[in-house]
Structure 1
Amino acid sequence: MNDVLTRLKRPLLYVMSTGYIVAGVLHFVVSELYVQIVPPIFPAALLLVYLSGLAEIAVGIGLLLDRTRQYAAWATIALLIAIFPANIYMATHGVVIDGLPGGGDPSSIVRWGRLPLQGVLILWAFWYTRPPAISNSK
């Protein structure tokens, strides 16, 4: 099992990195969708959406570079924690997202499923916080 995980680590890094870059770009392309899930206690929702989009793009790129991968992985964890209030707000306040393709009312499964998904994403990022193992084979 460990060999399988070792072989998947690199391809999954590209999946994760691409996911964050795409999500970050979407913060600018469809920012109005993201603004709707920012809890109203936070000021300047649009600015926060743009900042989180920039952060997602930055960690996505940082994960691809060997020199910055560990830092980017830790930054990804911090980002996921920082955006968690939006997921809680969405789950607990029945947010209807105007302009969402297919209707703006995410199901309860989607609303509540995002919460444990954050934990999975944090663990996934944590996988890249350690330096790569150095092989002693000759």
Structure 2
Amino acid sequence: MRYKIFLLIYAVFYILAGCNHFISTNGYYAIMPKWLPAHEFLIYLSGIVEIILGILLLFSNTRKLASLFIILMLLAFIPVHIYMIKIAPFMLGEILIMPFIAWLRLPFQVFFIWWAWYYFRNPGKV
């Protein structure tokens, strides 16, 4: 039962995070490293990918693949988190991101990678 609840939370988290790329697009521009090309395209692409991966987590036959791609996606996002640390303090929409908050995001990345790894190793039958 706990497996199902946390799986649902994790899947919904990615679906909502992906939707947020379309709702709060402007906020993502602030955290995009200048050296990355096509900011708008990457913001929308990552939103679509997050939504798809969140949905794929819900099905036992695609859960392992979705988990693997979530891990790869989160690893790919690490340069963005490092960039956030470098530019802090900065405004993310109406929220002031201080260096401490920017640093806190890195352990969360590790936690989310672990969470995906758990479902990769234990895809289960839900």
TM norm. shorter chain > 0.5: yes
Kindly report structure 1 stretches of 4+ aligned residues shifted beyond 4 Å. 131-134
Q: Equivalent residue of 1:105, what SS?
A: strand
Q: % of aligned pairs identical? A: 36
| TM-score, reference length from structure 2 | 0.91
How many residues are paired up?
125
Q: Which runs of structure 2 are paired with 1:47-126 in the superposition (5 Å)? A: 47-94=41-88, 96-97=90-91, 99-100=93-94, 104-126=95-117
Larger fraction in helix: 2
Higher CA-based Rg:
1
**Contact 1:37–1:95 (Cα < 8 Å) also in 2:** no
Bigger relative contact order (CA 8 A; separation at least 6): 2
Larger fraction in strand: 2
Relative to structure 1, is the Cα distance of residues 42 and 133 closer, same or farther in structure 2, using a 3 angstrom cutoff? closer
Q: Which runs of 5+ in 1 are unaligned?
A: 1-6
The alpha-carbon deviation at position 24 of structure 1 amounts to 0.2
Q: Equivalent residue of 2:91, what SS?
A: coil
Cα-to-partner distance string for 1:57-80 (whole Å, 9 max, x where unaligned): 011000001110000000110110
CA RMSD of aligned residues (A): 1.7
